[in-house]
Structure 1
Amino acid sequence: MIAIGLEGSANKLGVGIIYHPERNKNSSKPAPPAQILSNIRHTYVSPPGEGFLPKDTALHHRAHVTDLVRRCLKEAKLTIDDVNCVCYTKGPGMGAPLQSVAIAARTLSLLWDKPLVGVNHCIGHIEMGREITGATNPVVLYVSGGNTQVIAYSTQRYRIFGETLDIAVGNCLDRFARTLNISNDPAPGYNIEQLAKSGKVLLDLPYAVKGMDCSFSGILARVDEYAAQMYAGKLVDPTTGAPITPEDLCFSLQETVFSMLVEITERAMAHVGSNQVLIVGGVGCNERVQEMMGIMARSRGGSVYATDERFCIDNGIMIAHAGLLAHATGFETELKDSTCTQRFRTDDVFIAWRDD
């Protein structure tokens, strides 16, 4: 089975093609791994100090989707006849970019006479992470620009144990990058991470863990206040009297929000009795959150699984993979239902391909 996947829920437009070898249900051997035939991404980058508007992002996706599909097929050395189904991100995400990709997928489905499969963006991240890392039944920390959730699998659903109560952790980092007016290329969160590596001073910021949930808007407001004081020359290290730098602010922000995420993830591990953590989503590429999570997991005799930027950051191959898993169980999205939605909960999806 071969699927092409289209992802465009935010500013990344991704197209990928994946091949699933035939799985012998009567065999006790592990299923053969999926093969990634192509995985291409094109990012809409807004000017420094600005976010990406839905209308501009949608224009970007519409302008590049045809070229990416052609390049994917060429790189995979396939023709249209080789493709078994067309998968696309149904949600969650930004409305206008989602619509652009849904229309493109619907068009390909009609032109090629191939089944259409709508995929939950979050499930795509989880299943791609499991496939790449080999994690069997981990607690999942899903952290990105639009989502922050702690998840564990049970009885054919991915259950949400904790999540953000306001903005996502990635959105918090991205918005502070705008405050500092740093570049959005290749990504604002990545540039925050690089600055944080040179930070020396840990400033006091709100630590907002509420049960199993987190809140990031208050932390962002406080660090924005610090930035204003810094630019006015009124913020100094309380110990040495040295001026506080942007690097110090980035370091303080990361240490605080990542500590919160480690705490709620550890609590979920204790609850479900798991010793594995799988980090997925764009923020999952951050080396510091991986390091902090690793310290916690090793103290519990466990381990951390994560992928690199090819699979952490939004991509088409994760949509193709999750879509093909669903399609193999007989699932298809009818043309009349081939819409998209900005709100599509992770635990809304019935995981028919898992029965463990």
Structure 2
Amino acid sequence: MSASVDAPAAGIPGGQAGGRVGSSPRARRRRLLAGFAVAAVLLAVVAVLSLMVGARTIAPADVVHALLHYDRTDQDSLVVVDSRLPRTLLGLVAGVGLGLAGTVMQGLSRNPLADPGILGVNFGASLAVVVAIAVLGVTSPSGYLWFAFAGAALASALVYAVSSLGREGATPVKLALAGAAVSAALGSLITAVELTSRTSLDAMRFWQVGSLAGRGFGVLWQVLPTLTAGAILALGLGRLLNGLALGDDVARGLGQRVGVTRALCGVAIVLLCGSATAAVGPIAFLGLIVPHIARRVVGADYRWILAYSAVAAPALLLACDILGRVVAPPGELQVGVVLAFVGAPVFIALVRRRRLVSL
């Protein structure tokens, strides 16, 4: 593939090289690596705080002791290992999944406002869960996990199939329109099922808001394989997304198989969004705002955007989860609610920026 695909800043509207004009590629790479290291350290700090902070604050030394010397008779061990550790690990993997999925979605659709809703992932997962609850009587997160994953996958496949109809194939505009239409139809079905089943309505209220609480290691181990596979695939799509960012005609001229690229992106999105949504619920805004944060730091190269998003997204998700634990004692706000308060102003700012019409 041509070198112009690897460095698309000159060909993407609004793209920047991610460094000062005239700086050498080696110096820019050092700066980006240093920034990535800082972001990784920040993520580690937030993860430690997630183990410390809550209704009961635990000192760092006690956290380490609980992790290394687990004792069922020790209250700190029970809080850290049995409650906060699975919550933190699930926040890490779900954050990685949603951050990478949002980045791939925006690169695939060339839509700066793309998030898991654009391919019907949230609504597909929600419909599968509400049907599992209402029809099959499934109520536990580990029980309806695979229903949510299957619903997300089927909804994404339906959106892609509808948008692929016609001579032009799955263009960014057709993807967005098909996603909106399928989401509206699935949303109507969800409402219809909830109106006929009080049990599904009560269970869905907790799942739909998005939460890291109440999920144990069982949920984590179930989604970890698909999340890992999706993350590896997404991180390998950087060069291909750089080609799509130049336009389909230019990408084809550079020898890229656009149809294959879109199919790979779709598989990555289904694996990442389906797993994360099934595990923690349809958390909004994370996959929308994190790629823009990464893009402002590194420029238009999707290889770096993907890498930064994989670190920034879990850090933001865990930070919002920590904030939700302390703002309303003795209870807590679910992370989906806190993230909505954080993400909504960013979303409004993105809509008002006229130059972000396309990526």
If the TM-score is normalised by the length of the shorter chain, which range does it land in?
under 0.3
TM-score (norm 2): 0.28
Q: Which has the higher helix share?
A: 2
TM-score (norm 1): 0.28
Q: Which has the higher contact order (CA 8 A, sep 6+)?
A: 2
Q: Which has the higher strand share?
A: 1
